[in-house]
Structure 1
Amino acid sequence: MDSQVKTTLTPLVLRGAPALIETVFPAQKVSFEAQAERKAVAAQTLTCLGSYWKGRKPLILVRTIVLGCLLPPTDDTEADLDVFERLLAFDDEGLARRALAANAFSAARLQEMLTIRDPERYFSGRGWRRDLTDDDKLTLYRRALATLGSYEAKASLGKRPEEVNPDWLYAPVWPVVNRHYAHLGIEAHSFPELIEQLGILRYGHRPRVGDTFCGGGSIPFEAARLGCDVYASDLNPVACMLTWGALNIIGASPERRAEIEQAQREVAAAVDAEITRLGIEHDEQGNRAKAYLYCLETRCPETGWLVPLAPSWVISRTRRVIARLKPDHAGKRFDIGIVSGVSERELKAAERGTVQDGEMVYQLDGKTYRTPIKTLRGDYRLPDGSTANRLRRWEKTDFKPRPDDIFQERLYCIQWIMRGGQAEGRPPAARQETFFAAPTEADLERERRVEAIVAENLARWQADGLVPDMPIEPGDKTDEPIRTRGWTYWHHLFNARQLLSMALTIQEWRTSQVANVGWINIAKMLNFYAKLCQWLPTQGEGGPKHVFYNQALNVFYNYAVRGFVRFTPDFFELSRVTMPDVKREIVSVPANHPQQHCEFWIADPPYADAVNYHEITEFFIAWLRKNPPVPFDAWVWDSRRALAIKGSGAEFRRGMVAAYRAMAAHMPDNGVQCVMFTHQDTGVWSDLIAIFWAAGLQVAAAWYIATETTSELKQGGYVQGTVILILRKRAPGERQGFRQRLLPEVRQEVQRQMETMLHLNERVAAQHGAPVWNDADLQMAGYAAVLKVLTACTHIGGEEVTTFALRPRARGEVTVVDDMVQQAAETASNLLVPEGLSPDTWGRLTGIERFYCRMLEMEAAGARKLDNYQNFAKAFHVGDYSQVMGDMRPNQARVKRVSEFAGRDLTEATELGRSRLGRLILGLQQMLRETEARVVVEQFKREMDDFLDVRLLLAEVSAFLARKSPEQPVREAAEVLAARLKNLRFGE
């Protein structure tokens, strides 16, 4: 920003102004964009540094929070929201530009969609005119998008905002921003300029954003990309390394990126040349190994035979390749042949391997033998209730099983790249011609050669830090390899080939001019290069998975080892962005010892069921801890488990209080803190209130972002959403809080906040056809209100809040906080009267009735997220909402249709069966079976003692079902029944 612009600003004029995020937040659109970013998987900007770090928050969410904390509200809330959405490229113009960047519409498609008076201006036949500009195309793109209904339909056609050139995407935004904030002297033409000018108005200088739980680096990265100075810290050095990589590799200058890419090519070429010289990955015909498949072997206690273990012997489904066991009676073992092009029947048979349901299962001479794996291991129970087994614990000098170990390891298949199918050792995938084969004696000799090299050099490599010598410390996640394999040092999780290749790779990177980049590449390589990599026969022609596809150390009976040919420079290809010249500081310290003052603290802290990063990242620390390069050498390369904030309960609360109290002490009085946490259990709310209370912070706002996605790993109703809490320092002085006084205040605050939000919803929906918030967002207003009121207190029930917050909880205890959170949720939910029901009728419905009607209303609006159902079930005190659910998949949840309820669902034993709605559903089901409405009403009169009192209520709910039910026959029956009930004459 030039000095002339700076002189038009009045520093600190916004010192006491609230932040826009305290009043407005485009929650629904952020939810969609966050999910779109998540679904990009490997294409996410920071994932390329290391997909093993699972806790990164979506960058679009971080961007929204940073802007929302800096932008001030004006007297025109609707205009504030409009500017906010333009800055996020959520507006119609931004959507059109994003769609054009993705080439969402072909010329032919636009001609089909639109009536164009002068087509020759745009098209040459069915294609675009060659001289057409993007501005010309935008004219048609705007019209095309206007024909689409929802935001989701429009946004799904385009690129994500971060994928589009910002100069072009935001070109029309800056004049609007400058006009809206002209009274403040804002004159910005880029995000860094806007950020600096807003920082001067609030704080007198460019703002600094801090994150003391920086994890994978998404918060400091996106804050820096916007133009903030950033401070990042984490106890875990792997997290610090990834954050450094985000800021200094992905955000590197073009000149620096050229150095990095050249270094990657040189290291890969040097290691590849040494492996080629050793002759350990090529066969006599010049074929190059792409992958090696190994399995465990163990001796059957019944027959004495050595049996290979694998849950499946399918190697490639697309190529119909299987491993086939053939008995070797002389050797009392099995030969393993590799067969291609088998029949579907043989493929199906091979899917059942020698490990089934926790047992070793195999056939020999027509007889089937079964032995539990725990019997093979010799599992037994100790006096203290824990278990142990007879597995030998491997020692520091081990890198392969000893001959008398229970589990042996065996190479049984190699995937080869045919000679000539590669260009300079790095073929494009489409040009590779591969085949699978059982190892020959020459292949096994190459295995022995690798093992001999490792045996000769292991001690030296460990002393030099080229191979780990670090023991595996027992823990929740680290117990698995110790218990099931006897592995006690981290290098035991890697076989001889991997140890050799890693030692060569680390040695080369140490001498590189960009060794710090090498450390990040090494960590990424480790995630794909351990005995914890499962072979997936359904992945293309068959391929290995990576280690941390979930947050555990999974051991397998058969595993895959990539050939080094797969670790080409292309494997380490990294995203690139333009990063402004801002200050960036990264330190590895506990969260309660921040080293900088920051205007904003934004963090995604650990809580309750957090990932045990302090354990699983020891997998990487073991390799990286000796002789790390600058700046990593300033960090403690240890997980420091004792210092990690983890678990739940009193210890967790104390650790979090210390962290947030320290952040508050390193923040100006008008600073803002933002806490993001994954919302799976509303019980966490009480803990969070306690933490912020004791830290001297007050909640100013709360928003809910749905970030859930579906995948194989999220079956069984696993959902995920993120709650955003905005915090300020609590005002000085004492404030006593008593339940009798606070409860009316909470209810009043809930009503005020929701009425404000509902009013804006109506205005925006009238103008743009869609509201700002859905029911889940509005329900969150209830939580925000109770947080705001409670955290303003210094004493609760006469007890100082820090003492109250940190005292141990009795099992099943319902505190005043729990009670008020529930009361607030109920108050908010009571105000969310579905369209078509009167407030009086809504007030008379039971919890299960409200739940069913509310969910039908949400489904009619297109909301199908399971966590919404969970939240409302809790707010309405529904005992078991699953009884009325027709589908519980995360993004496809729905209640049962009227026709889907079985008789057992509507008995007196169920919540719904005891309700009037349950009786109404039974009546509608009778009408669907041709029973007349008159007969159904007569039954109501006989069976319902209060029929005269509830007749009009039944009529209103029936009319509601007539409008909201997705089943046409039900709508028709409900409409008839509603009319009959409403028009029933006295005495009829």
Structure 2
Amino acid sequence: MSGRKKLIEVALPLDAINKASAREKSIRHGHPSTLHLWWARRPLAAARAVIFAQMVDDPSAHPDLFPTEKAQEKERQRLFKIIEDLVLWENTTNEKVLQQARDEIWQSWRYTCAENADHPRAKELFDRHKLPAFHDPFAGGGSLPLEAQRLGLEAYASDLNPVAVLINKAMIEIPPKFAGKLPVNPDSSKEKRLFKKTWEGAAGLAEDVRYYGKWMRDEAEKRIGYLYPKVEITAEMVKERPDLKPYEGKKLTVIAWLWARTVKSPNPAFANVDVPLASTFMLSTKPGKEAYVEPVIENGGYRFTVKVGKPKDAEAAKRGTKLVRANFLCLMSGAPISGDYIKSEGKAGRMGARMMAIVAEGDRGRVYLEPSPEMEAIARQALPMWKPEGDVPARLTGGTCVPYGLQCWGDLFTPRQLVALTTFSDLVQEAREKVKADAIAMSLSDDDKPLAAGGIGATAYSDAVVVYLGFLVDQQTNQSSTICGWNNINQQMIVTFSRQAIPMIWDFAECNVLSTSTGSFWNLLERQVKGIASLSLGYATGKAFQCDATIQIESSGKVVATDPPYYDNIGYADLSDFFYVWLRHSLKPVFPDLFATLAVPKAEELVATSYRHGSKDKAEAFFLEGMTQAMHRLSEQVHPAFPVTIYYAFKQKESKSEAGTTSTGWETFLDAVIRAEFAITGTWPVKTESANKLKADVSALASSIVLVCRQRSKDALITTRRDFITALKMELPDALVHLQRGNIAPVDLAQAAIGPGMAVFTRYAKVLDASGNPMTVREALALINQTLDDALAEQEGDFDADSRWALAWFEQSGFAEGEFGVAETLSKAKNTSVSGMVDAGILVSKGGKVRLIRPDELPVDWDPEKDKRLTAWETVHHLIRSLESGGESVAAALVQKLGSKAETARELCYRLYTICERKKRAAEALSYNALVQSWPEITRLAQEVKSLRPKQATMFEENEE
């Protein structure tokens, strides 16, 4: 059976989903992601919307209820409104909104059951009283299973990675098991608990995590507080720094100690001096609150002082002792220190660290202080009794610190950090005993059955609480390694995994785990408790377990949505060992089977890492074979009434091969999907990154492409290459217009166009070339990209002659000068003239040379309403000038004046971005991408400007007194 057509196979309110998904990236308080870090986690809003639309019938599937297109569209708009409410962050736990969505899912399910009453497996698959369960075989960070559970489905999550499995247990398995339970800690005694009538969902569990987490923090302070002293502001310090006067005589809590790594000077005259490898001396670059380190060379060595205000030599302070990449200058002699020398010193164990500055808590901000010998001595007296073993991955996409001698996990921490982290880790098991004793005292029955064995009594509950406490230790490691930096703009810690790598950090920040500021245990606890409280209200159960996706059988008869690994983008197993070694230390007694191995399983992980498989070709073959098996498991097992949704994001790049723009990651993944006999019935670009990141990095993908797949029909036809191209040319331009109207980022356009293109390709059993051989996925992708280019080029017909000339010139020369004769010849072909374009204000012609005017050269007082030769080219670049100089509000004022002509300018941006990407003009590409990304906000502000403008009185209006 093919199943009723679902909403996701026809239409989605993409703008609302994308807006909510992008917004969610900036939300931390109350978000489940605060439980534990995972890489490339999908937004909850997108997951919720996709699963809902995956399960609800499209109105066209009910011609008896909605016989006309108008009736169907009206019903779609009603469903869209449900989704628009559903994706709002404020409605994540709104029972009224969630129940409305659940009711809609049930309504479609009952229709499906009635229609399939005679199905051979009706009793097994079509029970009108029980929704099918949900399964994600690549569960990762758990967004998809969590949102399926929130929508009322029993959720199953599996992953090969034990860290991911534990995250999913904490999100979908543990909270429903203890939903509605009262907290057991002594502070929530029977008398006090009467004041809170109900403990809905995971609120009681969250309260206990708060209590026992605070106990851990307070107990840690008793044991290791001496390692975290306050700093006293003395009269002598105030004499040197008058700005410290308000703090004289006070003891300030330290937020962080800032260190610079050191190596012996390569200059023989200073061979006994450990010189700093400082990438910057700036502590704060916040306007009006600048602070910096100033090294003072004296007595054959040096010391660090801290100054406030702007440095005299701003460039020198900004660059520290760094030259470029891993090359530095010797502070003592000015001699260069090569990266190779630093590597050899690191591997020989001769790399050290020197305290550069202290960051303390002020009344309303940070106070930067110079280090003291006493402070440095206290840090060095820490003696860790344990440190994590295991090798840091020697190769990682994004960089690794291994070449500099940081080779095992224990090397990534200072002695004081190791003492603190092992203290917290040991306290997890002590807390476990306290929770169990308090639970029994609160009359919670105990069967001595642990959580891992399915227990629900006092033993199991104590196990449940310490899972989250173990996560707190992991979160603390992310804030407490020598890979952490200091953000001198917003004056906060930069976590270990600020990106998906373990790169070398030259000057690092060591946070005060016992403070209440950035990076502290208390700060992390507060965030985690809010995240736990947002979890299950107990309407559906969940189960998470470890399993290889290539052999799993859990998808049988279930709804499936999944987010598989992106070829070689992220080495999940290599990265997660950082957390695994600490989780194993604190939680192995709770989940002995999950932490049975010394490290995360890697051999079976479905990523195409060349260093693991010996070569790029072998890695690709491994990925293709494994992903094909995984897709086959889904194709064979998934519930026949529902499509499978698969999130995928992999940046296409310009290839030197004859195929043009292709991507091995996309090609290999799609090949696996097709080999599993899936056909693509829908594709949706869903934004997963914040707008700020996109504006800063033009190469970053803004979207994941959600592929909607069903088993290909057994009656699928075989077609020819020519007919396939004909179908592409008929369907892809319309799909392109649809994507542009949805304001997809130019950086994502090529990725998004793969979907509708492959939907054409996969509807056929085979596409045969002129020789009768089946077309490969690579060939299909090349044709899709060529058709996309042709469609974009055809859109040039909508532009004025001047803009068409400018496009052709820009592709050839960019904003650089060119010969007048060439420009004149081109102008005749485009039915315009060089002199006319000079008059139009887009071109400079002088001395036999011409060039396009750059956005920053355009006049700021330009008024499109008075422009007698208005062009789309001019409009685009004035909008870019306005956006980059004055922000979205200034650009909005211009859009309001442009009216309908502004939309043509936005369309031109797609063509310009494609040219820039192909020509590797990153700066210009960034501007065009940013304008499109800002377009929704610009148009919204433009509408506000329009609504505020006074209306012109007409002869039919009466003046009001």
TM above 0.5: yes
**What SS is found at the alignment partner of 1:719?**
coil
**Equivalent position of 1:642 in the other structure:** 603
User: Aligned in 2, Cα 1:795/1:317: closer, same or farther, shift over 3 Å?
Assistant: closer
Does the 8 A contact of 1:210 with 1:600 survive in 2? yes
Note if 1:481 corresponds to 2:401.
Answer: yes
Aligned-partner residue type, residue 274 of structure 2 = L
Secondary structure of the equivalent of 1:351? helix
2:257 aligned partner: 292
TM superposition shift of 1:261: 1.6
User: What does residue 624 of structure 2 align with?
Assistant: 653
Equivalent residue, structure 1, for 2:474: 523
Q: Which amino acid in structure 1 is aligned with residue 560 of structure 2?
A: W
Q: 1:726 aligns with which of 691, 698, 708?
A: 708
Residue in 1 aligned with 2:444? none
Looking at structure 1, the residues matched to 396 and 718 of structure 2 have their Cα atoms a distance apart, in angstroms, of: 42
Contact 1:311 1:354 in 2 (8 A): yes
Q: Give the letter for the 1:327 counterpart.
A: I
Alpha-carbon spacing, 1:929–1:67, altered in 2? closer, same or farther (3 Å): closer
**TM-superposed deviation, 1:470:** 1.6
Equivalent in 612, 628, 653 of residue 588 of structure 2: 628
Give 2:358's aligned residue. 414
Structure 2 gap ranges (5+): 60-65, 114-123, 177-200, 233-249, 433-461, 609-618, 653-660, 844-868, 879-893, 902-961
C-alpha contact 1:26 1:773 (8 A) present in aligned 2: no
3-state SS, counterpart of residue 553 of structure 1: coil
State the SS of the aligned residue for 1:79: helix
**Per-residue Cα deviation, 1:595-650 (whole angstroms, up to 9, x for no partner):** 41253221222224522222222211222234525347435653322222223743
| Distance in structure 2 (CA, Å) of the matches to 1:778 and 1:320 | 42
Q: In the superposition, relative to structure 1, how do residues 433 and 826 fare at CA in structure 2: closer, same or farther (>3 Å)?
A: closer
Whole-Å separation in 1 of the counterparts to 2:72 and 2:361: 63
For 1:229, the aligned partner's letter is E
Contact 2:566/2:648 (8 A) holds in 1? yes
Structure 1 counterpart of 2:236: none
2:498 to 549, 566, 573: 549
| Counterpart for residue 419 of structure 2 | 500
Structure 2 matches for 1:733-744, cutoff 5 A?
735-744=717-726
Q: Does 1:436 align with 2:369?
A: yes
The residue aligned with 1:589 is 547
Deviation (angstroms), 1:415: 3.3
Against the structure 1 CA distance between its residues 78 and 488, is the aligned structure 2 distance closer, same or farther, given a 3 Å change threshold?
same
Q: Is the 8 A contact 1:516 1:631 kept in 2?
A: no
**Which whole-Å CA distance do the structure 1 matches of 2:308 and 2:102 have between them?**
62
Counterpart of 1:672 in structure 2 is 643
**Offset from partner CA, 1:531-560 (integer Å, 9 cap, x none):** 111123333xx4432111111112222211
What's the CA shift string for 1:51-97, capped at 9, x where partnerless? x423011111111211111111224331232122211235xxx9xxx
Q: After TM superposition, list the pairs within 5 Å mapping 1:210-289 onto structure 2.
A: 210-247=135-172, 253-276=202-225, 278=226, 280-282=228-230, 288-289=253-254
Q: 2:836 is matched with which residue?
A: 924
- Decide whether the 8 Å contact of 1:477 with 1:553 is kept in 2: no
Q: Secondary structure at 1:345's aligned position in 2?
A: coil
The yes-or-no answer on 1:446 pairing with 2:378 is yes
The answer to whether structure 1 residue 323 and structure 2 residue 284 are counterparts is: no
1:904 aligns with 818
Pairing 1:717–2:698 present: yes
Aligned residues with identical type, % of pairs: 17
2:75 matched to which residue of 1?
80
Matched letter for residue 646 of structure 1:
V
Match of 1:33 in 2: 20
Q: Structure 1's 172 and 496: CA in aligned 2 closer, same or farther, altered over 3 A?
A: closer
Instruction: Return closer, same or farther for 1:492/1:708 CA change in 2, 3 Å cut-off.
Output: closer
User: Is 1:308–2:276 an aligned residue pair?
Assistant: yes
Structure 2: which amino acid aligns with 1:731?
S
Counterpart CA distance in 2 for 1:649 and 1:244 is: 32
Aligned residues: 728
Other-structure match for 2:189: none
Which runs of structure 2 are paired with 1:121-132 in the superposition (5 Å)? none
Change over 3 Å in CA distance of 1:849–1:779 after alignment to 2:
farther
Q: Which moved more, 1:660-669 or 1:622-631?
A: 622-631
- Contact 1:87/1:173 (8 A) holds in 2: yes
Q: Distance in 2 between matches of 1:787 and 1:243?
A: 32
Is structure 2 residue 379 aligned with structure 1 residue 392?
no
Cα distance in 1 between the residues matched to 2:675 and 2:395? 30
Residue equivalent to 1:892: none
Structure-2 change in CA distance of 1:538 and 1:20 (3 Å)? closer
> Residue 156 of structure 1 corresponds to which residue in structure 2?
none
Q: After TM superposition, give the deviation of residue 590 of structure 1 in Å.
A: 2.1
Structure 1 segment 346-361 matched on structure 2, within 5 A = 349-357=316-324, 358-361=326-329
Report which stretch shifted further, 658-667 or 244-253.
244-253
Whether contact under 8 Å (1:41, 1:47) holds in the other structure is no
Partners of 2:805 and 2:6 lie apart in 1 by 35
In structure 1, how many angstroms separate the alpha carbons of the residues matched to 2:106 and 2:155? 29
Distance of 1:307 and 1:966 partners within structure 2: 49
Contact 1:312 1:353 in 2 (8 A): yes
Return the alpha-carbon distance in structure 1 between the equivalents of residues 19 and 806 of structure 2: 24
Secondary structure in 2 matching 1:369: coil
Q: Structure 1 residue 205 and structure 2 residue 110: aligned? A: no
Query: Hey, what's the Cα distance between the residues in 2 that align with 1:31 and 1:631?
Result: 38
Aligned counterparts of 1:77 and 1:773: Cα–Cα separation in 2: 25
In the alignment, what sits opposite 1:509?
428
Residue type at the aligned position of 1:904? G
Could you give the per-residue CA deviations for residues 293-322 of structure 1, whole angstroms, max 9, x where no partner exists? 222222223222432331222334455443
Q: Give the letter aligned to residue 571 of structure 1.
A: L
Q: Distance in 2 between matches of 1:162 and 1:669?
A: 31
For residues 924 and 510 of structure 1, do their structure 2 counterparts lie closer, same or farther at Cα, with a shift above 3 Å needed?
farther
Q: Is the CA contact (8 Å cut-off) linking 2:559 and 2:644 kept in structure 1? A: yes
Distance 1:270-1:703 versus aligned 2 partners, 3 A rule = same
Map Cα deviations across residues 89-132 of structure 1 (whole Å, 9 max, x no partner): 35xxx9xxx9xxxxxxxxxxxxxxxxxxxxxxxxxxxxxxxxxx
Q: Please report how far the alpha carbon of residue 736 of structure 1 lies from its aligned counterpart in structure 2 after TM superposition.
A: 3.2
Is 1:64 paired with 2:24? no
1:955 alignment counterpart: none
1:591 Cα deviation after fit: 1.9
Indicate the larger mover: 695-704 or 498-507. 695-704
CA shift in 2, pair 1:924/1:374, >3 Å: same
Pair 1:82–1:580, CA change in 2 (3 A): farther
1:336 paired residue number: 304
Contact 1:523 1:620 in 2 (8 A): yes
Q: Where does the alignment leave 5 or more consecutive residues of structure 1 unmatched?
A: 1-13, 99-158, 187-198, 380-388, 394-404, 419-429, 462-466, 762-769, 807-813, 838-844, 853-877, 885-900, 932-957, 975-988
RMSD: 4.7
Change (3 A) 1:781 1:237: closer
Q: Contact (CA 8 Å) 1:19, 1:72: kept in 2 or not? A: yes
Q: Is contact 2:261-2:353 (8 Å) kept?
A: yes
Residues 1:49 and 2:35 aligned together: yes
